[in-house]
Amino acid sequence: MKLIIHGGFFSESLTNQEVKKAKQEALRDIVTKGYEYLQTHTATETVVYTVSLLEDCDLFNAGTGSQIQSDGKIRLSAALMDGKTQKLSGVINVEDIKNPIQVAEKLMAFPDRVLSGTGGQDFAREHGFEHYNPEISQRRQEYEKKLSDSIRLGTVGCVALDAEGNIAAGTSTGGKGFEMPGRVSDSATTAGNYANQFAGISCTGVGEDIVSASVASTIVTRVTDGFTIEAATKKTLDEMKPYDGFAGVIGIAKNGDVFHADTHPYMVWASHDGNVQVFN
């Protein structure tokens, strides 16, 4: 059994040691809880549980503490993919939801599995998800000061390999902050979140760059075709160099190989296979 999570990219690695340490400690705690949960649950159940913990931690840009868009509103996106069934479900740009990954999980049982905007919100309300304001004061202060030059790419994600050999991946984001309303990131698409029986990938970074390279699905396809997850990831990220693509990747292959990589050295991540590793 293996588990790996990420907390996205963050500029504090070089500028704020207190925030850096807090994020590292949060990831250590969450990956430990997620790995314990994995002992008695499936990969898909574990991904939902672990991403929910990440969404509830206001240090990251997903769920509570998400970035505010240019019109002053918070909109959330999340996706879940079960590698065994190869079904992806998700929500795009929904408002006033605490845990969008849980709405994505609920959608897995429906024929229309990816909903956006008010459609996603209406679905959530109809299925018991109460109104919740994910804003925290820090994000409002950043918005009011228009700190668009301070990139806080804190999308969260999780990939799990369970005892039965099944893989699942989940990704959740509040967007990049100050973006144009209606902008769609990679997180709720197969470019940013993908899994099958051979591998699972969750991405973070600049959504437009990740979509341009179809990063997650391309890596998984290459692993399916015989690449190691390391070789598949490196080749895919290399293909982003012509436009200086900004991306980070976490993944697990069917054989148990766990891999992470980024094009810019600021992704924070943690893994657990009986031993915890936390890095940025």
What would the two tokens of residue 46 be? 């574990």
Percent of the chain residues past pLDDT 70, beyond the cut:
92
Is 185 annotated as belonging to a binding site?
Answer: yes
Is 113 annotated as belonging to a binding site?
Answer: no
Give the separation between CA 123 and CA 100, rounded to whole angstroms.
11
Q: Which pLDDT value is given to residue 148? A: 45
Is 128 annotated as belonging to a binding site?
Answer: no
Is 207 annotated as belonging to a binding site?
Answer: yes
**Is 155 a known active-site residue?**
yes
Edge-first strand order for the sheet with 193-195 is 193-195, 199-205, 247-253, 258-262
Is 118 annotated as belonging to a binding site?
Answer: no
Q: Which pLDDT value is given to residue 179? A: 86
Tell me the per-residue pLDDT of 122-159, one tens digit each, with 9 for 90 and over: 999 999 999 999 988 777 676 556 544 444 456 999 99
CA 211 to chain centre: 14
Is 204 annotated as belonging to a binding site?
Answer: yes
CA 104 to chain centre: 13
Work out the number of other CB atoms within 10 angstroms of the CB of residue 95: 17
Q: Most distant CA pair in the chain: distance in Å?
A: 50
Spell out the per-residue pLDDT of the chain, length 280, in tens: 999 999 987 655 556 788 888 899 999 999 999 999 999 999 999 999 999 999 999 999 999 989 889 888 999 999 999 999 999 999 999 999 999 999 999 999 999 999 999 999 999 999 999 999 998 877 767 655 654 444 445 699 999 999 999 999 999 999 888 888 999 999 999 999 999 999 999 999 999 999 999 999 999 999 999 999 999 999 999 999 999 999 999 999 999 999 999 998 778 999 999 998 877 6
> Which domains occur in the chain, in start order?
2-273 (3.60.20.30)
Given 44, 50, 64, 155, which residue is catalytic?
155
Nearest one of 169, 245, 250 to 203, comparing CA atoms: 250
Residue 55 one-letter amino acid: E
Q: Is 124 exposed, middle or buried (0-12, 13-18, 19+ CB in 10 A)?
A: buried
